[in-house]
Amino acid sequence: MSEVAETPMDAPEQSESGDRSVKPFELFFDLVFVFAFTQVTQLLASDPTWEGLGRGVLLIASLWIAWQSYAWLGTAIDLDEGAVRLAMLAVMGAMLAGALAVPGAFGDTAILFAVAYAFVRILQLVLFGIAAREMYGMFPAMLVLARSTVLTSTIVIVGAVSGWGPLEAWWAGALLIEYGWILVMNLSGWAVSPGHFSERHGLIFIIALGEAVISIGIGVSGLAIDAKVVIPAMLGLGVIVAMWWTYFDVTSLCTERHLKAITGRR
């Protein structure tokens, strides 16, 4: 079966090239993840040390793999229909709770963040199961993914609840298993719409950059607007522009072309 394929039944809107387009609901759903990403900056601001940076990396890695799961899911089924939409809204609620807990994810709100994260990951498996009913070969692929998802979700909850040892070690171990399993697991059975996949990544990236611009404005609110404020704000904007330019003029285009070029199991 081709890795680059469309859902055979009930496919969402497609462009003239046959590629699936991102629906407004998917963009709406991504907002809670972008909020969670930006919450990591609060953790870093409260602890600007190497240890704080390490915790921030663990949080971004966990949030990113959770979002990635739903980006893949969006290439398989229509997320804006019936019970699936209700399930997605439940995921948004859980992710919002998790995002609020991000600044204290290794402290006072550790259990809330771990439970919210596990809920988001496990419900993703349920939705993949729904998608598997209409996609040949996807159910075995979903079972392969479920092994690491259930294991790592259990690890982070046990670590947060038990209090045994440093919580960072529990999260690091769980993420090593998660990312390592993705590298070695059999990916046959998954279907990817290249245009949809590329567009979805581009949209969440542009939202995150927009949040960064807003953060600059919030950061200088209440300050006297002089050179000491304007110059750093311009430098911050310059970094954001460089990130936008690099991604949308290079990375995004090359990735979409690469996805469209490959076929078969690869």
Using pLDDT thresholds of 50, 70 and 90, give the confidence band for residue 52.
Answer: very high
* pLDDT at res. 265: 64
Domain segments of the chain: what residues? Answer: 24-261
Which of residues 63 and 129 earns the better pLDDT score? Answer: 63
Q: Are 3 and 127 in contact (CB under 8 A)?
A: no
Residue 112: pLDDT band by 50, 70, 90 thresholds? very high
pLDDT of residue 45: 83
What pLDDT sits at residue 75? 78
Coil, strand, or helix at residue 14?
strand
- Residue 43: partners with Cβ closer than 8 Å, 6 or more residues away: 52, 55, 56, 59, 102, 103, 105
pLDDT at residue 17 tops 50: no
pLDDT at 135 over 60: yes
Overall average pLDDT of the 158-176 stretch: 94
Letter string b/e over residues 200-225, b meaning 16 or more CB atoms within 10 A of that residue's CB: bbbebbebbbeebeeeeeeebeeeee
Query: By percentage, how much of the chain surpasses pLDDT 90?
Result: 44
Lowest mean pLDDT among 11-15, 86-90, 106-110, 197-201: 11-15
227-243: average pLDDT: 93
Answer whether residue 3 shows pLDDT above 50: no
DSSP string over 182-203:
HHHS--TT----HHHHHHHHHH
Q: What is the pLDDT of residue 77?
A: 76
In tens, the pLDDT along 178-220 reads 999 888 877 666 777 777 888 888 889 999 999 889 888 888 8
What pLDDT is recorded for position 235? Answer: 95
Q: Which pLDDT belongs to residue 74?
A: 81
103 versus 137: the higher-pLDDT residue is: 103
Percent of the chain exceeding pLDDT 70 equals 89
